Amino acid sequence: MKSQFIGIATLAAALAACATPAPTADEAALAAEGRKIALGMQQNLAGKLFAEIGKSGPAGAIGVCKTMAPEASAEFSRSSGWRVTRVSLKVRNPVLGMPDAWEQAALLDFDSRAAAGADAATLERAEVVREPQGRYFRYMKALPVQALCVNCHGAADKLPAAVKAQLATTYPHDRATGYSPGQIRGAISLKRPLD
């Protein structure tokens, strides 16, 4: 029996040695910078979107969101020096929102953690990643579904007729419905070269 406990302890020590090392001071600073940029973009988009919904309702805001979100990503990218984008596992616009492999893994992790009870608003991932083009610092912040979001992202059979019609026109390949409040709609993803 004693040797069984030693084996488990040895296994635990080996697993601990393989665990992701604690971030360096530079990585922690980059994560803080990424978090600040992501929160700024999230607040910027939410403010504009909620204002447009207040003026013209959810159906009227769809077209604005189509142009506003890419413009915000471009502006935050220019002003920060990071590549800033929004990604999702269920994209509304397949040209702009498709995640790469790292982003897919992070989104799946966010979904799993949210389903297990984690507060979706706090989910993030930050790490140095080696890619064929070099080393990058990657940061992602989850975008949780809010109550207002289900007007355009909720169950397809419960969307208002005007929203369905506008989505069919604006996003003919839309897959971004079926969400409930608290789920992960997608994430703001940032990438910065280190080499």
Decide if 174 is inside a domain: yes
Decide if 164 is inside a domain: yes
Cβ neighbours of 180 (radius 10 Å): 12
For the segment 15-71, what is each residue's pLDDT rounded down to a tens digit? 344 445 566 889 999 999 999 999 999 999 989 888 988 999 999 889 778 898 999
For the segment 88-140, what is each residue's pLDDT rounded down to a tens digit? 999 998 888 899 999 999 999 999 999 999 999 999 999 999 999 999 999 99
Range of the domain at 62: 24-193
Decide if 82 is inside a domain: yes
Residues 42/122, Cβ–Cβ less than 8 Å: no
Structural domain count, the chain: 1
pLDDT classification of 14: cutoffs 50, 70, 90:
very low
Decide if 10 is inside a domain: no
Decide if 6 is inside a domain: no
Decide if 8 is inside a domain: no
